[in-house]
Amino acid sequence: MILVYSGVAAGIEGFLIEVEVDVRPGLPGFEIVGLPSKTVRESRERVRSALRNSGFKFPAQKVVVNLAPAHYPKDGSYFDLPIALGILAHQGSIKPQALKGRVFAGELSLSGTLKRISGALSLAELAKAHDLQLILPEANGREAALSGGENMVLTPSLSHLVQFLAGRAAAPGLPQLTLPQPPASTEQPLVKGQAQAKRALEIAARGRHHILLLGPPGVGKTLLATQARRLLPPLSREEMLTLSKIYEAAGLTSADSPPPVQRPLRAPHHSVSQAGLIGSRSGRPGEITLAHLGILLLDEFPEFSQSALQSLREPLDHREVHLARAEHSLTYPADFWLIATANPCPCGYFGSSVRLCTCTSHDLARYRRKLRGPLLDRFDLFCYLAPLSPKELEEAPRPWPPSPGEFLRRDAAPVDQKALNFLYQAQRSLGLSVRAVDSALRTARTIAQLDGACQVGEEQVAEALQYRWETHEHLLA
């Protein structure tokens, strides 16, 4: 029995798989056990043809392949290469010692060349964690270079790999990969007025606080929200790797796809299903994972289905999402900055001095039920955008936003005792929950660091409370 290590990517995580190959006397046959998917079972014909077209013989005996651990479902074409190598080791074409300390993954064509596989970045992390050398198809050179290429070997075909393992051929070098820079913006968007909303978004961006923008149509809620990505710092190399793994799991990459250079901005339509927002049972990541390290913009927030909105509560708390499947569960990261926009009523003009509201009491009650409750308590900042005044309309528009800054530490600034007493007094008068008090305190710390204050004082706490929903709830009374 020959043991060859391989791996499989489930979500963005890699798992080590033992490929046990046994060739024994008996009627010719080829069987794969260990909970293989249809794709894995089809590797029998690919391996058989690839061996013959590469100049090797396929054994006229019983071939049994076991993929361990047996209880874990196996999917994908990762195992073509390790199965072929196990058969060749049985025949003496490869020394079994050459297979030790290495992880092999690759899809074989019928001619014996190796095709690109998905999940290469996850397998690179897996091999590094187990201190194993990773053998990948040459077509995965971009992913190998992006991961750093540590202890990795690329090979174009099965025959070349056999020569390499025997020490008679050199491996192709890793391609040179220069990380692209975000496209330079020659112009900053010009936004008139809304100074308080701009200030609130700058605070929210620096502290990664979730924010809800409320106001009638046409005041600039969506414009400000989409431009808020400019407030976020550039991606680091590690963040590029994480996003690349997510996009690969979602099937959004190809062999020529460059690494992501901008933080994601996902703005799903309000008709999105709960599975589309959170992730499906098939394991496909949802919008909250695709927005990881970036912005999830929920425009027209109350128009989303109640089930979709309520499913956000746990990911907002834990910054990850668990997708339970029949055989196992997947965990995806979901550390996003939530920006939501809403009108004060279905027609958008409740309380407006510009236009008369045409909503019925039933319309208002149904609409406002979605603007209350535990989910709303998870927003750190709330800002009402009023129509621009005649003076603001006459002013020249100013560039916004400013240059991006680094994320601020949430627990760096100490809190003055007077500020704490002021906060506790506000808790009693406004009826703040424990979560709301903690949220206001974190926001005050961000404001203090943004203003360069050495500690959190009453001024910062007052501004943080100014952005609380409870302070402005009368706008929808």
What's the pLDDT at 349?
87
The DSSP-derived string for 35-59 is SB-HHHHTHHHHHHHHHHHTT-PPP
Q: Which residue has the higher pLDDT, 177 or 133?
A: 133
**Contact (Cβ atoms closer than 8 angstroms) between residue 455 and residue 472:** no
Tell me which of 229-238, 283-292, 407-416 is least confident: 407-416
Q: Which residue has the higher pLDDT, 319 or 76?
A: 319
Q: Which of 113, 323, 296, 287 is nearest to 211 (CA)?
A: 296
What's the pLDDT at 278?
94
Average pLDDT on 144-164 reads 92
Q: Which of 378, 371, 356 is nearest to 433 (CA)?
A: 378
The predicted-structure confidence for 256-286, as pLDDT tens digits, reads as follows 788 888 999 999 999 999 999 999 877 789 9
* pLDDT of 409 above 70: no
**Contact (Cβ atoms closer than 8 angstroms) between residue 210 and residue 337:** yes
Q: Which of 292, 333, 288 is nearest to 308 (CA)?
A: 288
Other residues' Cβ atoms within 10 Å of the Cβ of residue 144: 23
Q: Which residue has the higher pLDDT, 363 or 108?
A: 108
Average pLDDT on 156-174 reads 93
The predicted-structure confidence for 54-66, as pLDDT tens digits, reads as follows 999 999 999 999 9
Average pLDDT on 331-336 reads 94
* pLDDT of 189 above 70: no
What is the residue-averaged pLDDT of the chain?
89
Average pLDDT on 327-351 reads 89
The predicted-structure confidence for 368-389, as pLDDT tens digits, reads as follows 787 777 888 899 999 999 888 7
d(Cα 285, Cα 441) in Å, to the nearest integer?
A: 33
* pLDDT of 186 above 60: no
What's the pLDDT at 21?
96
Average pLDDT on 15-42 reads 92
Q: Which of 456, 394, 391, 450 is nearest to 421 (CA)?
A: 456
Q: Which of 251, 334, 337, 342 is nearest to 304 (CA)?
A: 342
List CB contacts of 208: < 8 A, sequence separation 6 or more: 337, 407
Q: Which of 170, 171, 287, 293 is nearest to 236 (CA)?
A: 293
Q: Which of 386, 401, 375, 383 is nearest to 443 (CA)?
A: 383
pLDDT category at 155 given cuts 50, 70, 90 is very high
> Percent of the chain scored above 70 by pLDDT?
95
d(Cα 288, Cα 275) in Å, to the nearest integer?
A: 11
What's the pLDDT at 194?
86
Average pLDDT on 343-348 reads 88
Other residues' Cβ atoms within 10 Å of the Cβ of residue 145: 19
What's the pLDDT at 329?
80
d(Cα 48, Cα 61) in Å, to the nearest integer?
A: 13
Average pLDDT on 1-17 reads 92
Instruction: Indicate the DSSP class of residue 157.
Output: B
**Entry pTM:** 0.88
**Pair type for strands 62-68 and 13-24:** antiparallel
* pLDDT of 107 above 90: yes
pLDDT category at 11 given cuts 50, 70, 90 is confident
* pLDDT of 322 above 60: yes
The DSSP-derived string for 72-98 is S-B-SSTTHHHHHHHHHHHHTSS-GGG
- Residue type, position 230, single letter: R
pLDDT category at 397 given cuts 50, 70, 90 is confident
Give me the helices (H) in 78-220, please.
80-91, 120-129, 141-146, 158-165, 195-207
Note the residue count of the chain. Answer: 477
d(Cα 93, Cα 128) in Å, to the nearest integer?
A: 28
Residue listed under structure tokens 């008709």:
271
pLDDT category at 185 given cuts 50, 70, 90 is low
Other residues' Cβ atoms within 10 Å of the Cβ of residue 354: 9
d(Cα 432, Cα 467) in Å, to the nearest integer?
A: 13
pLDDT category at 361 given cuts 50, 70, 90 is confident
* pLDDT of 477 above 60: no
Identify the sign of the CA torsion 409, 414, 418, 421.
positive
* pLDDT of 138 above 90: yes
